[in-house]
Each structure stands twice: as structure tokens, then as C-alpha cells.
Chains A and B, each alone.
Chain A
Amino acid sequence: MISRRSFLTGTSAAGLALGLGACASRPASGPNTISYWGVGAADKDKDEQVRDAFLMTDAGKDAQIYIDQVPSSGVADMSQIITAVRGGTAPDLWWMDRFNAVQNASIGLLEPLDDLIEKYEDVSPEEFKSQWIQFAVDELTYDGRLYGLPCTTDARGLMYNEDVLKDAGVDLDLFDPSQHTITWDEMDDAVEKIVQQDKRGNYTRFGFAPWLSEGWPYTWGFGLGASAYDNATGTVTLDSPEWQSVYELYADWAERFPYASVDAFFATYQPPNAPPTQTAMFSGRLGIDTTGPWQISGNEKYAPDLPLKFTYLPVAKEGDPTYTWSGGQCLVIPRGANITKTLWEFLKFYAGYEGQSRVVPQYGNLPTNLQAIEEGKYNPKAELFRTMLPNSTSRPPLPVGSAMWDTLTRTKSSVALGSSTPEEAVASNQQMIEPKMALFPDYKMPETYGKPSPVPGS
């Protein structure tokens, strides 16, 4: 018979052992050990390809690289990484949406790379950074310091289904980027021809609506000259007339194509969380959509026989310059990482020519490394988007980037639904962001932000 004392001692010891066991620790760290966080199980093979290539090099021959995929539960959900950093289990290298870099740098989540460049490289930081396209470097720069190395990038354009346009009697030459950049008026006419409805009034074939897919306020904002922040005065400018014209664009289209009806069309033919094969475009029910080069791999995989083509975003009038914007990914070193020369070499390898030329063609996006761009290390079908890069830019690199994106997107749906006017939307955006940005007085985006990014061979 077990005594009470033995029972209590035993249960206490077991509880303590369980408690200590639950406190998991990161893999043993050493000068050649790297723990890496990717963001998607589907891309694990790409990470492994780069790792295996790195292990074949002199710099990487003794390295041990542990790859984990830690997807985020939202566009800017930082709970996993913040918890890991605070818990002392942060990865040494993290594959992250570049858009969040400045915000994450501003809260102290990331390690600056400038000291590492000076320590390990024979060239100046400026010369080192010149290996990558300028707008991607700007997007990783906070208070003059670099917080990551850019990897993939993209651009926005229109994708159209030639079969649908032909069937509707639309002149395909209007959509041929080598001949013409389509205007908003021409879009209106084309869309009217494409749309079909059943007897109940449901759309059975739809043309285009500016709030769909990549039709973010930033997308049209760059074309209409809207800027979110004035570097010279240090003020938020989300209530400018240019921003109001972005929301007027949504309101005008929603008047002709009611949000609820368009939404019902998409929920029918492309419901949320549907498999990638089930899209309104693939089923021949959508004529035109706003998208980017990442779409190419999906088209090849799921609709190889459909004549899906790309062109520039619509402009106000013939002869206006084309416009777009670019997002993408980067590699960063979270605070608390085991910073070693091996880590630096792997980071440089992955984000540099070697890594990008291996993985970017598989992602379907574009490289940010200039040598990789020059040598065409991307899907040839993305060539149109590659030509957009020199005049592209990123979303404004601001420490309130997530909140700004959130509010712009929310008011987009308010205006499209008709629950806010464009005036109310821009006033609301300004009201939401101004106090948040006030916490960063005299903040300056990089001087080069918004200026052309030279690309060799362009």
C-alpha cells in the first residue's frame, strides 16, 4: 500500500517533470546551426533545395539547417514570431512578407543588418545593397538601417480570358500590351459586353469590378497619384483629393454593378476557401481580373488550355503612363537569433543570385536580385510584369503599414457596399491612421522611395 507521503512526493515530482518537459527549447545552437522558419508547407521543397545547394558550398559545408514551416494565421499576424522571440525560441532566419518589415523593425522585432555587412563584406553597405532592386531595399529600410534582404517580388496587371472577350465581341487589340494600354472608358464598354444575367438577375458571366482580387486602394491609388505620407512635412495624406478619387472609382462601379450581386456571383463560382481549381476565371465566367505574375503557375497547372493573357492596369486616357506596385517576400533575422558568419552566408546565399535563381521560377514571381532579373531567372510568361519593374514601387514603408492597409481595405468595402461615401471613407482613413503615425514624429521614408528603380537590360 502506497503511503500518503510517497503519493504526494510522487505526484509532485511527476508534475514538476511534466512542467519542465512542456518548456520546449530551440534546437541546440552552435556556430554552424541555423533554425529557419518558412511560411508554407507547400513551399518546403523550395527551402530544402536552397539549403541543399548551400550545404554544397564552402561556406555551408559544416552547416546544420533546421527548416520549419510556420504559417501565419493572417496577413500581418505576428503572434507566433513575437511569442517565439519573447520565449527565447526564435528562429535564426525568417521568411516574411516584406510589407511588414518596417513595422516589425519599429517594434524591435528584427535585427538590423548594417553591422553584419560591415563585418563580413568587403564592400560598403551601399554597394552591397545595390545587388537588389531599389524599391525592395526601400521596403526593408527603417530609420536608415536595413532589416532584411529581399527575395521575390511581383507587379499588378490585368488578366483576361481571350475566349470570353471574343465571345462577347470585345476588340482584343485593346488588351494587347504591345499595341495599347486600355483606358477606363474602354474597360467600361468591354465589361458591359461581357456581363450576362439569368432571369432572376443573378450574374452568370461577369466582366470586372475594381474592388475584386488585387483591386486594392493602393492599386488604383498609384495610378491616380495618391500618396499616403508626405515625407517633407511628416504628415499622413490619406484624405487628399487623389485618395477620394480612388474611392469614387469604387462608388461609380458599384452603382453599375451592385456589390451584393457581384458578391453573390463570386460566392457562387469562387467561394471562400475553394480549391485553387475552382475560380470564376477558370470556369469561363469571368472576363477580366486584377492579378499578378504569381497567377501564372496556377494557370499552367489548373487551366493550361485556357487563353489567359496579361496587360497593363487601365489608365485614365490614352498616352498616360502605366503604373503598378510590387509586393514580395524577404528574409530577416529576428531578435534573439544566433547570429553567426554561417547564418550571414546562408542569408546572403538564399536572398542572393544563387537562391533566387533556384526558387523564383518555381514561385512564378519575379526576382529582386538584379543579376537574376538580367539573366531571366523567372517564368518567361512573366516577362510583361518584368518590364513593369523599373517604374514600380512598394507600398509606403511606414511603421503603421498594417493598420493603414487594414483601414484602406475596410473602407473600400464600405464604399462598394454603399454604407459610406468616398468623402466619409477618406476622412475615416485619415482619422484612424493620423494618431498612430503621430507616435513617430518626423518619420522619413527612404529618399529613393517612389522613384524609378533601374533594372539592367530594361
Chain B
Amino acid sequence: MSVPDTVGPQVTEPGVQRAAASDRAAARPPDLPRRMNSGQRRKLRTGLLFISPWIIGVVVFILYPVIYSISLSFTRYSGMEAPTWVGIQNYVTAVTDPLVAKAASNTIFYAIIAVPLGLIVALSLAIAMNQNVREVALYRTIFYAPSLIPAFAMSFIFIVFLNPQFGVFNQVLNLFGGANVNLLGDPTGVKIAIILMAQLGAGNAALIFLAGLRNVPRTVYEAARVDGAGPIRQFFSITFPLLTPVLLFNLITGVSGALQVFTEAFIVTNGTGDPDAGALFYMMYLYKNAFGFAELGYASALAVLLFLAGLALALLIFWLSRRFVNYDVEAG
């Protein structure tokens, strides 16, 4: 997606950027191995020491658990006795387990609706937060406030909100003559309720969109206005293209969060995922296997499969992003 020529010096064509980068690379002498002098070594040591909390954190809390989980996925392990090697048995079981398919389809259903809807809601909020009015700070606070409510509290609010007799949802339904429904008692309804619940946390993504909106140079809009572009044309030809890097970030974090949806479903279904496993999301089934059925090996295999699915989706999004993400804007 290209930007009109009227954008001025702050925006450059991608081809020009790439050519300049390749010229710089050609001018640089080839890298030669260099010995560090004692001052540099001391600086390196100090630097490493400063980031050592991070290094320890990554190694202890991320790297080690990931490697341990991968190794456990090839074992039968209850958490107590020594793990027993079972090869790829856990993966074979996962492929044939009808509940894995059910949990995966529930999660995909959630992701397909919740992620795009979340982006639209967040972008709408960001645009609303970006209006040039005096009381904008108040609006920003109001729009962001629901994101501060913890997921478990939000779940309880929704249980009341959806109450068939007293909840606002059914009161509105009754105005149109509909019979009371319990959305949380229906396998599809409960998923939709959880998707709606997630939208109240869109404030975080909205803040990132807002930062992106503030980064779009005003001169671009001024030039567009001079050329006769209205607000809608400005949004689709300037705002949206220049927000795509932020959109990519929110898309990837949104997909990652959607694959791991757990808390809301755990609370509204009392940990069961019912009715009819309608809210049995992948992470819930993984959790059940690990801590309900003491099958940590199988749960680890499920975790590895989730990791691979997440990785594949992230790579797919990055690949697709070359077609829709525009990095032309610089900080203005």
C-alpha cells in the first residue's frame, strides 16, 4: 500500500531505503576478528552483570521450562515418579483424542472472531481517544478503565450481566418479546459471551494504536486536505496504512493471547468447560490433563503442539505482513 507523493521529506519509498542500506553495507570494510582490550572486557563484564537479572530470569523461567517441557512431552509423567520414556506416544494420542480436536476448534472459533473484533474495537477506541477536544483526558480514562478490571472480576460481572431474569442482556431481549436465554448454558453462546468479555480488555491494544496515531505526521493530513481528501479517504489512505506496523504488533499479541484463553472460561464454567465442552479451550484441556488427571507428559505434548501452532501462525502473519505492513513513516 503506497502513500501519496504529497507526504514530504519524512516519508521515503521502501525501494530507496533498501538501496541506501545496501550502499552502506558495500562501503563498510569486511568484519575482522578483534581482541578486546582489558577496558572493553571490563565494560562487557559490567554490562553482563547489569543484565544478569534478565539473563537469569530467561534461563530459569523460560529456557529451562521450555526445554524441560519438550523433554517431558516424550514421557509418561505424573509429577511424582520418575518420567517413563514413551517416544511419540503422547503426540499420537493427541492427534486421535477427540477432545483435543474439540478444544482446538473452540480455540480457533474464539481466535477467528475475538482477534479481528478486538482490533476493530481497539482501533475505534484509539480514534476516540485521539480526538482534539478539551476533555480528551477524561475520555481516555473512561475508555481504558475496563482494561484495569482483572479477568476473574470481569467474569463475575458477566455472569450477572447475562442472568436470564435480572441481567441487562435479557432485559433488552425481553423488550423485543424474546424468551429468556442463558447464553452461558449454550455451547456456542458461552464462547460468544467470552469473546464479548475479551473486548472490555481492548484498552491495552487501544493505547498502542493511540501511540501509532500520534506518530502519523500532521503534515500528511494537511497535504491530503489540500488535495481534497475527506475524513474517510484520509483514514483509509493515510491513517490505516501508516498504522499497519502497530496493527501487526497487536495482531500477533492478540493471536498469541487468543490461543491461550483460559481464565474467563475457567470461571464461568466452574473449571469444567461445559456445557458440552463448548468452552473447553485448548489451555483448559491442557490444564485439566496436567493437574486434574496427573498426565504431565501428555499435557507437555499438548503445550509443544500449541507452541508450534503459535509459531506457525506468527510466521504466517509475518509473511503476510510483507503485503500489508507499511514502514514508510518515521517519528515526526
Instruction: Say whether A267 contacts B276, CB under 8 Å.
Output: no
Which one of B162, B179, B288 contacts A201 once the chains associate, using CB atoms below 8 Å?
A: B179
Instruction: Say whether B274 contacts A74, CB under 8 Å.
Output: no
A414: chain B residues within 8 A (beta carbon)? 276-277
Interface stretch among A318-326, A431-439, A446-454? A431-439
Within A394-432, the residues touching B (CB, 8 Å) are: 400, 402-403, 406, 409-410, 413-414, 417, 419-420, 428, 431-432
Confirm or deny: A123 has a beta carbon within 8 angstroms of a beta carbon on chain B.
no
Confirm or deny: A284 has a beta carbon within 8 angstroms of a beta carbon on chain B.
no
Cα A15 to Cα B181 in complex, Å, equals: 54
Interface stretch among A103-111, A238-246, A358-366? A103-111
* Total contacting residues, chain B, CB less than 8 A: 46
Confirm or deny: A263 has a beta carbon within 8 angstroms of a beta carbon on chain B.
yes
B164: chain A residues within 8 A (beta carbon)? 202, 264-265, 267-268
Cα A449 to Cα B294 in complex, Å, equals: 24
Which one of B93, B181, B268, B292 contacts A77 once the chains associate, using CB atoms below 8 Å?
A: B292
Most buried by A among B76, B268, B276: B276
Instruction: Say whether B156 contacts A413, CB under 8 Å.
Output: no
A435: chain B residues within 8 A (beta carbon)? 93
Confirm or deny: A78 has a beta carbon within 8 angstroms of a beta carbon on chain B.
yes
Confirm or deny: B165 has a beta carbon within 8 angstroms of a beta carbon on chain A.
yes
Instruction: Say whether B291 contacts A413, CB under 8 Å.
Output: no
- By beta carbon, the residue of chain A nearest B291 is A79
Instruction: Say whether A202 contacts B80, CB under 8 Å.
Output: no
Interface string of B2-44 (1 = CB under 8 A from A): 0000000000000000000000000000000000000000000
Which one of B49, B79, B165 contacts A8 once the chains associate, using CB atoms below 8 Å?
A: B49
- By beta carbon, the residue of chain B nearest A263 is B185
Confirm or deny: B182 has a beta carbon within 8 angstroms of a beta carbon on chain A.
yes
| Given contact pairs A8-B49, A268-B164, A107 touches B79 in the complex (Cβ within 8 A) | yes
- By beta carbon, the residue of chain A nearest B78 is A107
| Given contact pairs A260-B186, A263-B182, A335-B80, A410 touches B276 in the complex (Cβ within 8 A) | yes
In whole Å, how far is B67's beta carbon from the nearest beta carbon of chain A?
A: 18
A268: chain B residues within 8 A (beta carbon)? 163-166, 180, 182
Instruction: Say whether A77 contacts B291, CB under 8 Å.
Output: yes
Confirm or deny: A53 has a beta carbon within 8 angstroms of a beta carbon on chain B.
no
B276: chain A residues within 8 A (beta carbon)? 410, 413-414, 417, 419-420
Confirm or deny: B53 has a beta carbon within 8 angstroms of a beta carbon on chain A.
yes
- By beta carbon, the residue of chain A nearest B80 is A108
Confirm or deny: A86 has a beta carbon within 8 angstroms of a beta carbon on chain B.
yes
Confirm or deny: B305 has a beta carbon within 8 angstroms of a beta carbon on chain A.
no
Within A233-273, the residues touching B (CB, 8 Å) are: 259-261, 263-269, 271-273
A439: chain B residues within 8 A (beta carbon)? 76
| Given contact pairs A78-B292, A79-B291, A406-B292, A431 touches B274 in the complex (Cβ within 8 A) | no
- By beta carbon, the residue of chain B nearest A401 is B293
Within B151-195, the residues touching A (CB, 8 Å) are: 156, 159-160, 162-166, 174, 177-182, 184-187
B321: chain A residues within 8 A (beta carbon)? none
In whole Å, how far is A244's beta carbon from the nearest beta carbon of chain B?
A: 18
B46: chain A residues within 8 A (beta carbon)? 4, 8
Cα A154 to Cα B165 in complex, Å, equals: 34
Most buried by A among B76, B166, B272: B272
Most buried by A among B156, B272, B288, B294: B294
Cα A260 to Cα B53 in complex, Å, equals: 53
Interface string of A149-178 (1 = CB under 8 A from B): 000000000000000000000000000000
Cα A432 to Cα B100 in complex, Å, equals: 11
Confirm or deny: B212 has a beta carbon within 8 angstroms of a beta carbon on chain A.
no
B186: chain A residues within 8 A (beta carbon)? 260, 263, 417
Cα A82 to Cα B76 in complex, Å, equals: 16
Instruction: Say whether A410 contacts B159, CB under 8 Å.
Output: no
- By beta carbon, the residue of chain B nearest A8 is B49
A75: chain B residues within 8 A (beta carbon)? 271, 292
Confirm or deny: A85 has a beta carbon within 8 angstroms of a beta carbon on chain B.
yes
Confirm or deny: A301 has a beta carbon within 8 angstroms of a beta carbon on chain B.
no
Cα A264 to Cα B179 in complex, Å, equals: 9
| Given contact pairs A269-B165, A272-B268, A419-B187, A85 touches B180 in the complex (Cβ within 8 A) | no
Cα A208 to Cα B99 in complex, Å, equals: 30
Confirm or deny: A119 has a beta carbon within 8 angstroms of a beta carbon on chain B.
no
B174: chain A residues within 8 A (beta carbon)? 200
B273: chain A residues within 8 A (beta carbon)? 410
Which one of B159, B275, B290, B293 contacts A403 once the chains associate, using CB atoms below 8 Å?
A: B293
Cα A402 to Cα B98 in complex, Å, equals: 18
Confirm or deny: B270 has a beta carbon within 8 angstroms of a beta carbon on chain A.
yes
Within A102-140, the residues touching B (CB, 8 Å) are: 103-104, 106-109
A269: chain B residues within 8 A (beta carbon)? 165
- By beta carbon, the residue of chain A nearest B76 is A439
Instruction: Say whether B184 contacts A272, CB under 8 Å.
Output: yes
Confirm or deny: A73 has a beta carbon within 8 angstroms of a beta carbon on chain B.
yes
B179: chain A residues within 8 A (beta carbon)? 200-202, 261, 264
In whole Å, how far is B51's beta carbon from the nearest beta carbon of chain A?
A: 12
Interface string of A176-198 (1 = CB under 8 A from B): 00000000000000000000000
A4: chain B residues within 8 A (beta carbon)? 46
In whole Å, how far is A108's beta carbon from the nearest beta carbon of chain B?
A: 4
Confirm or deny: B81 has a beta carbon within 8 angstroms of a beta carbon on chain A.
yes
Which one of A271, A402, A417 contacts B292 once the chains associate, using CB atoms below 8 Å?
A: A402
If A268-B163, A410-B277, A432-B98 are given as contacts, then 10 extra A-B residue pairs at C-beta distance below 8 Å, sorted by A number, are A74-B291, A200-B178, A260-B181, A265-B164, A402-B292, A409-B272, A410-B272, A414-B277, A417-B275, A419-B187
- Could you list some 8 contacts between A and B, CB below 8 A? A76-B292, A79-B290, A103-B294, A259-B275, A267-B182, A268-B163, A268-B180, A402-B292
A interface, CB within 8 angstroms of B: 4, 8, 12, 15, 73-79, 82, 85-86, 103-104, 106-109, 200-202, 259-261, 263-269, 271-273, 335, 400, 402-403, 406, 409-410, 413-414, 417, 419-420, 428, 431-432, 435-436, 439
- 7 shortest interchain CB distances as A-B pairs: A107-B78, A263-B185, A268-B165, A108-B80, A267-B182, A79-B291, A74-B271
